[in-house]
Amino acid sequence: MQIIKTKFKDLKIIKLKKNSDKRGYLKETFRKNKIQSKNLPFSYYVNSKKNVIRGFHFQYKFQQVKYITVLKGKILDCVVDLRKNSKTFGKVYTITLSEKNSLSLYIPEGFAHAYMTLEKENIVLYNLSNYYRPSFESGIIWNDNDLNINWPIKKPFLSLKDKSLPTFRTFLNKFKYL
């Protein structure tokens, strides 16, 4: 397992160790002594079809560290830095994560998170530092003009909740930062 730093403080790419032979492969997906994170006591996986966008989501109270791994398929993963006094506040970081490239993304507290699925079937594993609490969840609309993200699709599949998320400017007016 190799840790790769990004230009965003504490946002890390993790290159997973993969052992392959004629039977298939084994991947080490998490190692607490390498990640050096808070405990990640909560996890779930999401199965999505192609051209689905989920997010941008965040919890403004009981914030979550997120550790994202693609078990099957490929996603365009995006985060927005919402941390007070961060040099990269309001900036977007994108990365392609896939079963094949064996990359995971460690997202510290204070980021909004979204991704778009790029293959027919996509299974994404989340490890989280805090339990999901919908009453403290908010988000930012996926196609916000101020964020200027170059998504590879114009009409993705979205949940009703994600279609009605507020803009980045609304986030600034309501929260200012996380």
CB atoms within 10 A of CB 97: 24
The closest of 134, 153, 135 to 143, measured between CA atoms, is 153
Q: Which residues are catalytic?
A: 57, 126
The closest of 137, 168, 142 to 78, measured between CA atoms, is 142
**Cα separation, 140 vs 164, whole angstroms:** 9
Q: How far is CA 141 from the centre of its chain?
A: 15
**Cα separation, 87 vs 104, whole angstroms:** 23
